[in-house]
Amino acid sequence: MKITRFNEIHKALGAKMVEFAGFEMPIQYPNGIIHEHHVVREKVGVFDVSHMGEFEVRGADSLKFLQYLTLNDVAKLNKGNIQYSAMCFEDGGIVDDFLVYNLGDYYMLIVNGANIDKDWNWVNKVAKDFNVTLSNVSDDYNLLAVQGPNSLKVIQKLTSNKLDGIEYYNFELGKVADIDTIISRTGYTGELGFELYFKGDEAVAKKMWDSLFEAGKEFGIEPTGLGARDTLRMEKGYCLYGNDIDATTNPIEAGLGWITKFKKGPFVASELLAKVKEEGPSRKLVGILSDAEKFIPRHGYKLFCNDKQIGFVTSGNISPTLNKPIAIGYVASEFKEPGSKIQIEARGKLFPATVTKMPFLA
């Protein structure tokens, strides 16, 4: 397993470490996932997400290449803008979902950690017909996600950049704790938050971590692990690659039609996806809410209606905020409307559930 430059810090704090995306990562700290979840919703938490991948795209055809590679319209990005996007195989299956950063003279893609090698191979395959230079700089960057209502107050103590002027899905270059940093107004929790990209060894990483926690003492800052990251993103209806989307799902059925921009011109699988949109997908990714007690929906559980299987759960857990079971899953399109009554099968039993709009939390 690979490790991030915060590995010894996590262990010193008593984190439960697990294998994730080929890295040894903290799933939770001694106070537990539910506690950490509420810390992010109410105060401020810090996630080590250095396992994420970073690809740089340079060259005369950078924009042309990204327009063909990705679903979204990269031409709309100015320097300092960020875009949520995805890329597909020729059959319409999703390679990955990711962020595109416009850094002025080059672009940077932030890809899922578990997909770095697969994504790298794919972007290089697509790039063969374009005048671009690609660089995999994933091992160069450290990445901390500072998330929660107090996140801006914490980081503002450590930088001269005016953070309240950075709009959602925008970034600035600056210094945080005297360390050169990409200060990104993004996150995977649905709360006010920033992601801090910076280079450096374990000593630099420790300086950033210690500075954040010293600045955040008065704001209730705590370390938070991947377990809370998962429950937080589920409450906001954010997809997780490998669960909710993968090579067997297409963006139209996965509810990603809003980032699939057909008007920009041809892109990988655009004709196929346009046909899916026109004809309508046979299934849709939906939110599912249950009032059943002592029940936790899990990935892979089957969904039923009138004794007929109509789909399956892709993500599920107890929502710490709502204190009830929530799930995300694919259902046959006839059951996609909010209010549709369905059932979740678990342990040989059927538990009542209702299709609902996402996000589960506004």
Q: Note the pLDDT tens digit of each residue in 27-84.
A: 999 999 999 999 999 999 999 999 999 999 999 999 999 999 999 999 999 999 999 9
Interatomic CA distance for residues 311 and 15, integer angstroms: 36
Interatomic CA distance for residues 184 and 151, integer angstroms: 12
Nearest Cα to 37, choosing from 189, 170, 152? 189
Phi-psi region of 127 (alpha: psi -120 to 50; beta: other; left: phi over 0): alpha
Nearest Cα to 94, choosing from 268, 355, 342, 352? 268
Interatomic CA distance for residues 144 and 49, integer angstroms: 6
Give residue 208's pLDDT. Answer: 99
Give residue 76's pLDDT. Answer: 98
**Whole-prediction pTM:** 0.97
Give residue 42's pLDDT. Answer: 98
pLDDT tens per residue, range 211-256: 999 999 999 999 999 999 999 999 999 999 999 999 999 999 999 9
For the chain, list the domains and their CATH numbers: 2-50+139-235 (3.30.1360.120), 53-136 (3.30.70.1400), 282-356 (2.40.30.110)
Give residue 66's pLDDT. Answer: 99
pLDDT tens per residue, range 147-191: 999 999 999 999 999 999 999 999 999 999 999 999 999 999 999
Average pLDDT over every residue of 259-270: 98
pLDDT tens per residue, range 104-157: 999 999 999 999 999 999 999 999 999 999 999 999 999 999 999 999 999 999
Give residue 218's pLDDT. Answer: 98
